[in-house]
Amino acid sequence: MSERNELDVEESKKKIASVIPYYPFKGIDKFYDITGFLSRPDVFQLVIDLMTHRYRSMNIDAIGGIDARGFVLGPPVALALKIPFFMLRKKGKLPNSVTGASYTKEYAGSDSLCVSRGVLKPKSRVLLVDDLLATGGTFIAAIELLKSLDIVIAECACVVELKNLNGRQKFDKSGHSDVPIWSLIDETLLTLNGLADPEVAKNYVDDGAPH
């Protein structure tokens, strides 16, 4: 990549980060909300373009989106690469599916992922996509489910990586150091406090379920 293109990528990352706000949410000091770039078609397109550029030459057979924001990010990249997309859903949400082991969610509680039976051929090379890597539990659950089906995980991709939570170390400790992780931006670029806007702060309601 030329020096000019590298500069363009860095400027694109800053532009993406500039529209992703964070909010206090169910005991989490900074919950990053990707609605910020989804509501901006020009910035959303930047995200998809950067991901597509990265994976165009990596011989990916299919893209797996992790429930639920991976369902937003994965399909446009799969369409751009002209490869299949499949869903990794929460337990009980797919017919004729294979369910993985229970895992501890990023912030509270536990869950399981499932994938449609027969959606992938053995030895397929897949890219796993989610919006964010925090502690790594959800990605690891997806990796273990697919590895049990003899699927090769080419890489895990996310828009935001919270490096202070050491998700990469959890990959290593769980025996998945063979799976690369790619993130577009990390918390060092994410400085937009959603409550800095007085109108937002005045009407803000922390009404979500625990994560």
The residues assigned a catalytic role are: 69, 106
Strand order in the sheet with 21-25: 28-32, 21-25, 192-193
Q: How many alpha carbons fall within 13 Å on the CB side of residue 21? A: 13
Q: How many alpha carbons fall within 13 Å on the CB side of residue 206? A: 14
Selection from 108, 131, 165 nearest residue 48 by Cα = 131
Pull the structure tokens for residue 150: 């003899």
* Rg, C-alpha atoms of the chain: 17
**Rounded to 5 degrees, what are φ and ψ at 15?**
-65, -40
Determine the distance from the C-alpha atom of residue 126 to the mean position of all C-alpha atoms in its chain, rounded to a whole number.
14
Give every CB contact of residue 47 below 8 A, 6+ residues apart in sequence.
16, 37, 73, 159, 184
